[in-house]
Amino acid sequence: MTLRPDGYVDRVTDPLIAEALDVFGAVVVEGPKWCGKTWSSLNQAESIFAVADPRNGFANRRLAQLDPSGALDGPTPRVVDEWQEVLGLWDAARFRLDESPVRGRYLFTGSATPADGTTMHSGAGRFGRVRMWPMSLLESGDSTGQISLSAVLADDDVRPTPGTATAARLAEVIVRGGWPDSRTFTAGQGQMLARTYLDTIARSEMTGLDGVRRDPLRVWSLLVSLARNTATPVSDATLRRDIAQSGPASSSASTVTSYLDALTRLFVLETIPAWAPGSRSRARLRVSPKRMLVDPSLSAAALGLMPAALLADLTTMGFLFEAMCLRDLTIYCAANHAEVRHYRDETGLEADAIVARPDGSWAGIEIKLGAGQADDAAAKLLALARKLTANGEPPPVALVVIVGVGGVAQRRDDGVYVIPVDLLAP
């Protein structure tokens, strides 16, 4: 029996948390605020210590500060929620696990990463980590899950199945977002939630992270710039120009770097690193990461875009659709013990995403809002595969075009998969 909350919706990361509990004494479940970390941890826990519980004048926080080891007492697995507010809890758990290395004792949940060196010990060998994100379309009920990414990576055949998403529906889902609380919201309600989220980040979370004051106007300007350049390898220099043009005084390179680091530690900023093929490749690569806010609803809110505005600007909608697909791919790849990367070389040959697996195998993915773009996307992927294999790389395990509107799941005659995003699952 666990503390599984009523109405809990199963998450793709649930098996990853269970797997980590079987290996480590403590598991850190981390991700942005409101993404469901606490509920997912309670789903596998027997007790909880909530540091931020306001009852009795925040008695739990005071207890944790006075006696961090005592706060760990209780049936296990025990959730220690928002542990980073009292860093001594980490060291107390590490000490207990050193004394008695029992697996699956603690679930530490946190929505911010402390600065390096703020705990006595790294926790290596005692603490595992599981990252969470806002809900994928599968988790929010907006994908049927009929086509499995794992099956595609295994080169299985795909039964022809039409997607049913319309442009209007995708615009609604983008604006509403993947926050568990917004699953039943309208797009307007979802944007209100996302706007409040961003305002909280700008006004308090960026300073509360480490006590360093950060100008809310600069934070907002940076968030807007990141939203405008979502899912692209935007440079720090471009972000600095955007901030300067938006009104606040110009920001130094170190200031922008500091703000980006803070957004990353709050799990608000997501980066998709560039993929570097094996050492045999002779291609000169462009290695800047793609950057995007952790959920497309945040980008839509930062830009003030409702569904009608997206439908009137399909170029912008295409970028936000790509960001949504990259969010889902990141979640599904984690379930398959793989990682998402992107590729671009000196000739301009690129892939929106590369699924990179630990054994060195890879799959190339292009993301297109409309199925009418699938032919061009498939041609790019085939050209990429030819070039890389000619340079000595192993052939891809799959080439995939993920589409939004009008697609039919299939494996084409040229071997490229086409998968509507509203059918996709891990």
Residue predicted with more confidence, 342 or 281: 342
* Same-domain status, 92 and 33: yes
Residue 262 pLDDT > 80, yes or no?
yes
pLDDT at res. 213: 87
> What CATH number is given to the structural domain containing 95?
3.40.50
pLDDT at res. 401: 98
Domain end position, chosen among 105, 131, 157: 131
84 within some domain = yes
Please state the domain count of the chain.
Answer: 2
pLDDT at res. 210: 80
* Same-domain status, 120 and 160: no
pLDDT at res. 284: 56
* Same-domain status, 92 and 174: no
In order of 30, 39, 149, 171, 324, the CA distances from 319 in angstroms are 26, 31, 22, 12, 9
93 within some domain = yes
* Same-domain status, 168 and 298: yes
Instruction: Determine the 3-state secondary structure of 112 from DSSP.
Output: coil
* CA nearest to 402, candidates 329, 310, 311: 329
4 within some domain = no
* Same-domain status, 199 and 305: yes
200 within some domain = yes
* Same-domain status, 34 and 106: yes
How many helices (DSSP H) and strands (DSSP E) are in the chain? 16, 16
7 within some domain = no
* Same-domain status, 95 and 162: no
* Same-domain status, 143 and 244: yes
Predicted TM-score (pTM) of this structure: 0.94
372 within some domain = yes
Domain end position, chosen among 131, 155, 172: 131
* Same-domain status, 74 and 185: no
pLDDT at res. 120: 58
* Same-domain status, 280 and 384: yes
* Same-domain status, 192 and 328: yes
Residue predicted with more confidence, 248 or 39: 39
Binning pLDDT at 50, 70 and 90, where does residue 246 land? confident
Q: Name the one residue in this structure whose structure tokens are 């009418």.
A: 372
Q: What is the pLDDT of residues 362-412, one digit of tens each?
A: 999 999 999 999 999 999 999 999 999 998 889 999 999 999 999 999 999
Binning pLDDT at 50, 70 and 90, where does residue 117 land? low
pLDDT at res. 164: 97
Distance CA(289)–CA(258), nearest Å, equals: 17
Distance CA(402)–CA(421), nearest Å, equals: 6
Mean pLDDT (the chain) is: 93
Binning pLDDT at 50, 70 and 90, where does residue 230 land? very high
> What percent of the chain lies above the pLDDT cut of 90?
81
pLDDT at res. 283: 52
Q: What is the pLDDT of residues 164-206, one digit of tens each?
A: 999 999 999 999 999 999 999 999 999 999 999 999 999 989 8
Q: Worst-scoring range by mean pLDDT, 17-21, 158-162, 209-213, 369-373?
A: 209-213
pLDDT at res. 115: 65
Q: What is the pLDDT of residues 120-148, one digit of tens each?
A: 566 778 999 999 999 999 999 999 999 99
Domain end position, chosen among 78, 103, 131: 131
9 within some domain = no
pLDDT at res. 369: 98
pLDDT at res. 121: 66
Q: Worst-scoring range by mean pLDDT, 158-162, 224-228, 343-347?
A: 343-347
1 within some domain = no
Average the pLDDT over 213-224 and give the result: 92
pLDDT at res. 157: 87
pLDDT at res. 211: 79
Average the pLDDT over 63-92 and give the result: 96
Range of the domain at 162: 137-425
* CA nearest to 201, candidates 218, 184, 186, 183: 218
Classify strands 398-405 and 362-370 as parallel, antiparallel or unpaired.
parallel
* Same-domain status, 69 and 30: yes
What amino acid is encoded at 320 in this protein? L
